[in-house]
Amino acid sequence: MECPELPALEAQDPAADIEGALGECRDRLAGDGVDLDAFHHLANARDVDVVRRALGYDRLNLQGGSYGTQVALLAAERSPETIRSVTLSPPIDPRENWVDGIPAGFARALDRVSAVCADDPACHSAVGDFDAAIAAQPR
């Protein structure tokens, strides 16, 4: 599944209406007959087993990163007899809504970059006040 509406929009204007572009993509996909309700954690976990069977394996070693940790845990929970091992790096607590943490994580990352830039003469000379430079960007 692709959403060409989004990259084209971002290339033209980084402050563009991303939510609107995603809505256009959703509407186009739905108009093309794509069942968007079929894309969720459980469906992705089921797909792991479909791929396992298609490849002819009895058991899998799963490695999941970021969102993939949730998919790997669900796949192991659904069909433990088909999973030999699971490696999660970095693990995400499946009891938490990781999407809710994205803004706070982004803010922490910006704070770290700001601190590093303030301590680095070349960065500070090129950017000046990092926080002010970020705040001045169009929203």
Q: Compute the average pLDDT of residues 61-88.
A: 92
Query: % helix / strand / coil in the chain, to the nearest 5?
Result: 65, 10, 25
Which range is least confidently modeled, 2-6, 14-18, 78-82?
14-18
Q: List pLDDT tens digits, range 92-124.
A: 776 777 677 777 777 888 888 889 989 989 988
- Closest Cα partner for 117 from 132, 135, 129? 129
Which range is least confidently modeled, 7-16, 99-108, 124-133?
7-16
